Structure 1
Amino acid sequence: MSRGTDGVLVLRGRGIVPGCVRGEALVSHETISGWGGIDPATGRIIERRHELYDVCFTGKILVFPGAKGSSGWSGFFQATRLLGTAPRAMVFTHLTTKAALGAIVTRVPAVTDLDDDPLARITTGDWVEVDADRGLVSVLSRL
């Protein structure tokens, strides 16, 4: 983690799916279940006990620990791409094969293995840039 000359907080990691986007962060401190945990048609988290229950991730920079549940996780996130309800990018703290495959089939920029905990540094509503080509996540403005 470092701060640029402009004061922007920059986390360095490893890009999983290339691309560079900016958007509003949606932070979850809990893993997300694909099968039974999200509604691909609406882009909402439908897992009743999840901290983001009924929150829509469509078009957001989804910052979360990663995937939980079955290998169906990637299929549900692929459906969000096909239905136009996918997150804008994904930032994972723990990369698993199902999370990596989910990011790949969703075709959104994804970064993991960051040099600091994004869940501690990024807050829902922050404006962030995910530059997966260079493995960077920058907090451009705070909520």
Structure 2
Amino acid sequence: MIIELRGRGIVPGLAEGEALVSRETISGWGGIDPATGTVIERRHELFGVCFTGKVLVFPGAKGSSGWSGFFQSTRLLGTAPLAMVFTTLSTKSALGAVVTRVPAVSELDRDPVEIIQTGDHVTVDGRRGLVTVTTTGGDTPERFR
């Protein structure tokens, strides 16, 4: 099944790949290891999971303004996600997406954390503010309401 989500493009560009979804906000400073692209916040649901080369889908950023610096480091070290799709636009998440230089979309017409599942194939068009999801199974009508 294919579904389109429309929102606000934050960083232009086009990327597609496998989704990695978090229901929890992500901390940059102390929450990720930029050298490996891994979530290191011990109580986070993605603890130990690498986001490198994935479309990172999450509610938004938490923590200090250091968030953007840590995500910029992932770009410099080659460990950045392919794209970012986040529910809540904040200065931290917007600046983080800009310095990471990956396509990013936010403020979608439906909550991407509820619609997209880890493993789904996702195309992010940051210029048009469009996220296209090809689901991988377990599809129920409730998922797409």
Q: For the superposition of Structure 1 and Structure 2, which TM-score range results when normalised by the shorter chain?
A: over 0.9
Shift of 1:133: 1.1
Shift of 1:56: 0.1
2:14 to 20, 41, 52: 20
Aligned match of 1:44: 38
**Normalising by the residue count of structure 2, what TM-score does the alignment of the two structures yield?**
0.92
Identical aligned residues as a percent: 74
Aligned match of 2:107: 113
Unaligned 5+ segments in structure 2 are 138-145
C-alpha RMSD over aligned residues: 0.8
Give, in whole Å, the separation in 2 of the partners of 1:141 and 1:86.
23
Shift of 1:8: 1.7
Moved over 6 A (4+): none
Give, in whole Å, the separation in 1 of the partners of 2:24 and 2:114.
13
Shift of 1:11: 0.3
Instruction: Kindly indicate whether residue 37 of structure 2 is the aligned counterpart of residue 31 of structure 1.
Output: no
Give, in whole Å, the separation in 2 of the partners of 1:14 and 1:112.
5
**Normalising by the residue count of structure 1, what TM-score does the alignment of the two structures yield?**
0.94
1:142 to 127, 136, 144: 136
Give, in whole Å, the separation in 1 of the partners of 2:72 and 2:113.
24
Q: What secondary structure sits across from 2:16 in the alignment?
A: strand
